[in-house]
Amino acid sequence: MDFEQIYQLYFKDVFLYLRSLSVNTDIAEEVTQETFTKALKGIDDFDGTKDIRAWLFTIAKNTYYTYYKRQKIYADKEPPDNVPTSQELFTERIVDKESAFLVHRFLHGMKEPYKEVFSLRVFGELSFKKMALLFGKTPSWARVTFYRAKKQIVSYMEEIENGKN
């Protein structure tokens, strides 16, 4: 399937998804266009083992959050209630210096390969495909390992926030 077909088939789905995140149709349209621009640039990293719609939705969600953060610099307003969940705020938490230190402290004691995969993905910004090559595994293995590492860190951070640790 060529990219034009992907665009034609999934534009409406991505737009409706972004419309559910944003209260503004114009913003949803703009972010949808940016999503497909990013998807076109990164289509070589898509291995085809997953549903392309899920891949596009992930790009759309991340693009929307980036857009919103950029806009927040210019306009000081609160995000809509339906935007962040604890899982989605994960990357925002590691940006905060104190939280970043806690994540690094936990990461320091984390078992391999979780520690290395997480570090390569977050700090090294390596694709799952490239990590798979490094480890001699599949991109799916890299995704699952990263997800499990992230889940461990999120759980640890939630315990700290709830005063359990």
What backbone phi and psi angles, to 5 degrees, belong to 24? -120, 120
How many domains in the chain? Answer: 2
Model pLDDT for residues 8-63, shown as the tens digit of each residue = 888 888 888 888 887 788 888 899 899 888 888 888 777 777 778 888 888 888 88
Tokens (6 digits) for 107? 């990461």
The CATH code of the domain that includes 44 is 1.10.1740.10
Could you tell me if residue 85 is inside a domain?
no
H-helix or E-strand containing 15? helix 3-21
> Is 60 in the same domain as 101?
no
The rounded distance, in Å, linking the Cα atoms of 148 and 152 is: 6
Could you tell me if residue 82 is inside a domain?
no
Domain that holds residue 95: 90-161
> Is 57 in the same domain as 104?
no
pTM: 0.44
Number of C-beta neighbours around residue 85 at 10 A: 8
Could you tell me if residue 107 is inside a domain?
yes
> Is 103 in the same domain as 144?
yes
The CATH code of the domain that includes 131 is 1.10.10.10
The rounded distance, in Å, linking the Cα atoms of 23 and 151 is: 30
- If phi > 0 it is left, if psi is from -120 to 50 it is alpha, else beta; for residue 118 that is alpha
Sign, CA torsion 3/88/21/75? negative
**Residue 88: predicted pLDDT:** 47
